Each structure stands twice: as structure tokens, then as C-alpha cells.
């Protein structure tokens, strides 16, 4: 079982190893416990899990442990011949993290770490670790947006929603047709390019009818977005969707 501890099969508990070495004992009579003095830090490493598809995921955890846990997630799109993740990205989530980022990949593993901050705390022990991966997107729509009312500058606008959303996976925009008239604005042809890697999403809006130069403009448009729910960690370090 990977990690820095050992599994007590009689109590179904993952425990930290003792800090003593053979040199710690001057006599056999001093050797009174197989467990010894537990180490103040315990890490359990999960097996590499294959979700079957490359996508954005919310990693959700439910850990039963004697102390709050910190989770380090490693994610990647491929594994090598030994089953290790190739060039993984790393995300660290501490207890009481208000916003936990979604992770991208197909293969995932996690380090679950407990640290005893004082002698008065319980020794690090893990009873169970449950990991789930959610890539089920929810949909939100927003109609008749006047982009000039959004923050940012002309043609470079920040798109926010009326509710808190997590990772935007897909987003579609539909610019409204401009009315035909005599003014220059009446004859603009809005072209909307979306930067969904930014938080919030950025709308790049150009007049496609400008000759010889890209000219930023504002317009009215409708938006439909697919997103993963917002995720946070609680006081014990468990990661859950809000």
C-alpha cells in the first residue's frame, strides 16, 4: 500500500510508522511496543485512477481520519509503461479552501496527508478514503446582454453570471443582428471570440465588417454555458460541491 504509513489489518486503519530505530533501544526491555512513537505526519497515496476520458473533473473526497487532511492531486492525459502519470499537473487543497479548481486529465492520483501540529492532538490515522470524479456539466443561459454594461473596456468584456459557477467547460454566444440604418454603429457586424480559460470568461468582440483593421465594439448577445459546480473543502479537508 503506497504512502508513508502501514495498514493495521486488525483495526482496518492506516497508521503512521514509529519514529524509533534500533539505535533508540539500549536494551530489549525498552522495546515495549511494535508501533512505537507514531510519526507526526502520515501520507496515503491512492492508486492511479483512469476516468476513461480526457476532460475537466471535480475531484470530490470523503476521508475519515483523526486529523484534517491536505490533498495533493496529480493529473495527466497519459501514463507510462509502469502505470505512472506522464508530466502530471499538481493541485494542492488545504482544509477550508473556499474555491477548489477543477482538474484536467484522464488519469488521477492523490496524496492524502495528515500532520500533527501539537502533542495534544491525536496521532495521524486514516480509516477510509473515498474519491469520486464528476464531469457532469450543468447549463446556464443569459439572454439580451448589453456588453457595454459589463466590466472591462469596449470589445473586451468580463462575463459573469447571477450565480456562482465553477469551471466553464463550454460556452456558446449568439450576437444579435444590428439594425440597418445610416449610422456607423447600425452597420456593424459583431464577431465574438471567447476566452474561457480566464476567470471570469472574457468576451473579445470585433466588427467583422471593418476594413483593414480589427476594431473592438460592443453589442447585444445571448450566452449559454456548461459548467462544473463550484467546489470547496471543509474544515476537515473533505472536498465537496457547493
Residue 1 has pLDDT above 80, yes or no: no
Average pLDDT over residues 135-162: 94
Residue 149 has pLDDT above 90, yes or no: yes
pTM of the model: 0.82
Residue 178 has pLDDT above 90, yes or no: no
Mean pLDDT of the chain: 90
Residue 180 has pLDDT above 60, yes or no: no
At residue 14, the pLDDT reads 93
At residue 179, the pLDDT reads 63
Q: Say if CB 223 and CB 142 are below 8 A apart.
A: yes
Burial class (CB in 10 A: 0-12, 13-18, 19+), 27: exposed
Residue 4 is given by DSSP the state S
Average pLDDT over residues 83-108: 95
Domain ranges across the chain: 5-135, 138-227
At residue 181, the pLDDT reads 47
pLDDT in tens, 101-120: 899 999 999 999 999 988 77
Residue 183 is given by DSSP the state S
At residue 184, the pLDDT reads 55
How far apart CA 98 and CA 120 sit, in angstroms, is: 28
Q: Which fold has domain 138-227?
A: Immunoglobulin-like (2.60.40)
At residue 22, the pLDDT reads 79
- 175 phi, psi to nearest 5 deg: -75, 145
Q: What percent of the chain has pLDDT over 70?
A: 94
Residue 199 has pLDDT above 60, yes or no: yes
∠ Cα 235 240 242 (to 5°): 100
At residue 120, the pLDDT reads 79
pLDDT band at 186 (very low <50, low <70, confident <90, very high): low
Average pLDDT over residues 56-63: 95
pLDDT band at 60 (very low <50, low <70, confident <90, very high): very high
Amino acid at each position: 500500500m503506497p504512502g508513508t504509513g502501514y495498514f493495521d489489518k486488525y483495526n482496518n486503519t492506516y497508521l503512521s510508522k514509529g519514529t524509533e530505530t534500533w539505535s533508540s533501544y539500549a536494551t530489549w526491555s525498552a522495546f515495549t511496543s511494535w508501533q512505537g512513537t507514531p510519526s507526526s505526519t502520515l501520507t496515503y497515496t491512492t492508486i492511479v485512477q483512469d476516468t476513461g476520458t480526457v476532460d475537466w473533473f471535480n475531484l470530490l473526497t470523503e476521508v475519515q481520519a483523526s486529523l484534517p487532511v491536505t490533498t495533493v492531486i496529480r493529473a495527466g492525459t497519459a501514463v507510462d509503461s509502469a502505470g505512472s502519470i506522464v508530466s502530471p499537473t499538481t493541485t494542492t487543497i488545504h482544509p477550508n479552501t473556499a474555491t477548489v479548481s477543477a482538474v484536467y486529465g484522464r488519469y488521477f492520483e492523490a496524496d492524502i496527508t495528515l500532520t500533527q501540529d501539537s502533542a495534544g492532538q491525536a496521532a495521524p490515522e486514516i480509516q477510509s478514503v473515498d474519491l469520486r470524479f464528476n464531469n457532469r456539466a450543468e447549463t446556464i443561459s443569459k439572454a439580451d446582454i448589453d456588453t457595454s454594461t459589463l466590466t472591462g473596456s469596449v470589445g473586451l468584456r468580463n462575463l459573469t453570471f447571477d450565480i456562482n459557477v465553477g469551471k466553464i467547460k463550454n460556452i456558446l454566444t449568439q450576437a444579435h443582428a444590428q439594425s440597418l440604418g445610416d449610422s456607423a454603429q447600425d452597420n456593424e457586424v459583431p464577431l465574438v471570440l471567447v476566452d474561457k480559460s480566464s476567470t471570469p470568461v472574457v468576451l473579445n468582440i470585433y466588427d467583422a465588417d471593418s476594413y483593414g483593421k480589427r476594431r473592438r465594439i460592443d453589442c447585444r448577445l445571448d450566452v449559454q454555458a456548461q459548467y462544473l459546480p463550484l467546489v470547496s473543502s471543509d474544515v476537515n479537508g473533505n472536498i465537496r460541491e457547493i
